Amino acid sequence: MPPHARLAAQLAPATTALLTVECQRGVVGEDSALPELAQAARESGALLRVAQLAGAAHGAGVQVLHAIAERRPDGRGSGRNARLFRAAERLPVRQEPGSPAVQVAEPIPVTERDLVVRRLHGLSPLAGTDVDALLRNLGIRTLVVTGVSANVAVPNAVFDAVNLGYTAVVPADAIAGVPADYTPAMVRHTLALVATVTTADAVRACWDPASTRVTAPPL
């Protein structure tokens, strides 16, 4: 089977979901708590590609799910068993429930059909959240993982998806991490071992062949 046909079979709209990982204003927006990561997501074109994928998914009837990380003002329920969690306590921008920081970042389009899953704990968009149950109720078998960061949450999502029996697809130009050279290394040496690695344009071509005009820097 040709590569495009094989990818198209994996990405059948009825059984595929697009997951955006921590693509929220307080992470990748202009007022990010993590400006270096936000800069990487924007300057690499990854955030724009996530937006393009969301638009293509909406047009094709593919379920879109936004995974948002939050932290209560008092920190109740959040872990302190990792340096990352303790550092979050000191960040100038807090990912507090109901605040602008936990809204999906522009330019990603959001429709009423989209699902938004918010978590107060852990590193993974899947473990300990409603994501798996929602996907199974929808008959989803393939998860397209996008967003940030390639350092922690994105690989965590891919590993959890594979462990739960999903086929994971990673558009490598629609994820970002820091430093810039870490993302391709993570993709090449780790994610490629467990997921189908492709490009955002290739995914969009499977959902809408007319949508593949390149408006972001190439991979």
Q: Please check the confidence at residue 216 and state whether its pLDDT lies above 50.
A: no
**Residue-level pLDDT at 210:** 62
Coil vs helix vs strand at 113:
coil
Comparison of pLDDT for 216 and 175, the residue scoring more: 175
**Residue-level pLDDT at 214:** 39
* Cα atoms found within 13 Å of the Cα of residue 17, Cβ hemisphere only: 26
For 73-119, write each residue's pLDDT tens digit: 887 877 777 776 676 677 777 788 999 999 999 999 999 999 999 99
Please give the average per-residue pLDDT across 123-127, as a whole number.
94
Of the listed ranges 10-14, 80-84, 133-137, the least confidently predicted one is 80-84
Please give the average per-residue pLDDT across 12-40, as a whole number.
95
Q: What average pLDDT does the chain have? A: 91
Closest CA to 103 of 28, 179, 171: 28
- How is residue 207 annotated by DSSP? H
**Residue-level pLDDT at 213:** 46
**Residue-level pLDDT at 138:** 98
* Cβ proximity of 132 and 161 under 8 Å: no
Closest CA to 177 of 144, 153, 145: 153
CATH number of this structure's domain 3-211? 3.40.50.850
Q: Distance between CA atoms of 166 and 172, rounded to whole angstroms?
A: 18
Please give the average per-residue pLDDT across 137-154, as a whole number.
98
**Residue-level pLDDT at 209:** 65
- At 182, which helix (H) or strand (E)? helix 182-186
**Residue-level pLDDT at 79:** 72
Q: Please check the confidence at residue 187 and state whether its pLDDT lies above 90.
A: yes
